[in-house]
Amino acid sequence: MKDGILIIDKPTGITSHDVVDMARKKLKTKRIGHSGTLDPVATGVLVLLVGGATKLFSKFVHFDKEYEATLRLGTVTSTGDSEGKILSEKDISRITEDEVRVMFSEFIGEREQVPPMVSAIKHKGRRLYELARRGIEVERKARPIKIYALKITRMELPDIDFHVHCSKGTYIRRLGEEIGEKLGVGGFISNIRRVSLGPFSICDAIRCEDINEGCLRDWKPC
Average pLDDT, the chain: 89
pLDDT higher for 104 or 33? 104
Overall average pLDDT of the 144-169 stretch:
97
Q: Which of 219, 218, 217, 201 is nearest to 9 (CA)?
A: 201
Active-site annotation holder among 39, 98, 159, 210: 39
Instruction: Output the furthest CA–CA distance in the chain (Å, rounded).
Output: 59
- Checking if the pLDDT of 192 tops 80, the result is yes
What is the CATH T-level fold of the domain 65-197, as seen in this structure? Pseudouridine synthase (3.30.2350)
Band (pLDDT 50/70/90 cuts) for residue 222 is very low
Mean pLDDT of 9-31: 92
Q: How far apart are the C-alpha atoms of 162 and 178, rounded to whole Å? A: 15
Average pLDDT value for residue range 36-42: 84
Instruction: Please report, for residues 39, 56, 92, 107, 194, the alpha-carbon distance to residue 180 in angstroms, rounded to integers and kept in the order given.
Output: 21, 37, 10, 12, 21
Give the C-alpha separation, 172 to 192, whole Å. Answer: 8
Of 12, 60, 66, the closest CA to residue 208 belongs to: 12
- Per DSSP bridges, beta strands 109-113 and 143-156 are antiparallel
Pick among 3.30.2350.10, 3.20.20.80, 3.40.50.800, 3.40.50.11810: CATH of 4-62+198-215: 3.30.2350.10
CA distance 32 to 192: 25
Within the chain, which residue ranges are assigned CATH 3.30.2350.10? Answer: 4-62+198-215, 65-197
Q: Are strands 65-73 and 109-113 parallel, antiparallel or unpaired?
A: unpaired
Does 218 qualify as catalytic in the annotation? Answer: no
